[in-house]
Amino acid sequence: MKIFKLLLLLIALALGTTATVMYSGIVNVAADEPHSDFVYWLLEETRNNSIKKAAQHIEVPNLEDAELLLMGGADYEFMCSSCHLKPGQSESDMSLGLYPAPPNLAVSNDEHKGHEHGDENQADRNNFWVIKHGIKASGMPAWGKTHDDQRIWAMVAFIKRLPTLSPEQYQILTAVE
């Protein structure tokens, strides 16, 4: 009986806290104010586990392909580089202004810490899923609504090689006349 009462009280408290937080307007949604460490951790874990689970059965095609790189390169330069940067560029309006910040995909995974990437196949899978479906309440759009799977795999192939590219190589691969 005591335990029951305690539980009830805790539930009431939880609901009360939630309602207070929601309706008081105390939560700052400004993108130029980072989350507290705790909230950041909460969202990051939720995000990583969600992507991992959703992507786990995706089959990764052969990504070592020149045509894929060319297709993905042109798309990347046009659609992604403003947020995810390119070799020789370390910041942009979007990379600085968005929160959560878009990871710099032109540097290797080890250089942008903060979340797990799993093994190589898992990283490709995750990337495919993220590009196709986007990430809620972040600047990352779902490109699958307007692009077929092949073009998304092309971008996955491209960003897999992106950290190894020099600015000159990048320019050649992505140039569209």
Partner 1 sequence: MKTSLIKTVSKIALVLIPTITLSMAATAHDPKMHAKKAVKADCSKMDHSKMDMKDPVVIAMMKKCKKQAKAPHAKMDHSKMGKMGKKMDHNKTKDIDDKSNKKESHDHH
Nearer to ligand HEC by Cβ, of 4 and 119: the residue is 119
Q: State how far the alpha carbon of 95 is from the alpha carbons of 32, 80, 86, 102, in Å.
A: 12, 11, 11, 6
Q: How far apart are CA 160 and CA 87, in angstroms?
A: 13
Q: Which of the stretches 22-30, 49-57, 110-118, 127-135 binds partner 1 when contact is defined by CB under 8 A? A: 22-30
130 neighbors 109 (Cβ within 8 angstroms): no
- The yes or no reply on residue 102 touching Cu ion (CB under 5 A) is no
Nearer to ligand HEC by Cβ, of 14 and 39: the residue is 39
Q: State how far the alpha carbon of 1 is from the alpha carbons of 7, 10, 126, in Å.
A: 10, 14, 48
User: Which of 100, 103, 132, 158 is the binder for Cu ion (CB under 5 A)?
Assistant: 103
Report DSSP state, residue 144.
G
- 34: CB partners within 8 A, 6+ apart: 40, 99
Nearer to Cu ion by Cβ, of 70 and 156: the residue is 156
Q: Which of the stretches 14-22, 30-38, 61-69, 78-86 binds ligand HEC when contact is defined by CB under 6 A? A: 78-86
Site for partner 1 in 128-157 (CB under 8 A): 146-148, 151
- The yes or no reply on residue 112 touching partner 1 (CB under 8 A) is no
- The yes or no reply on residue 100 touching Cu ion (CB under 5 A) is no
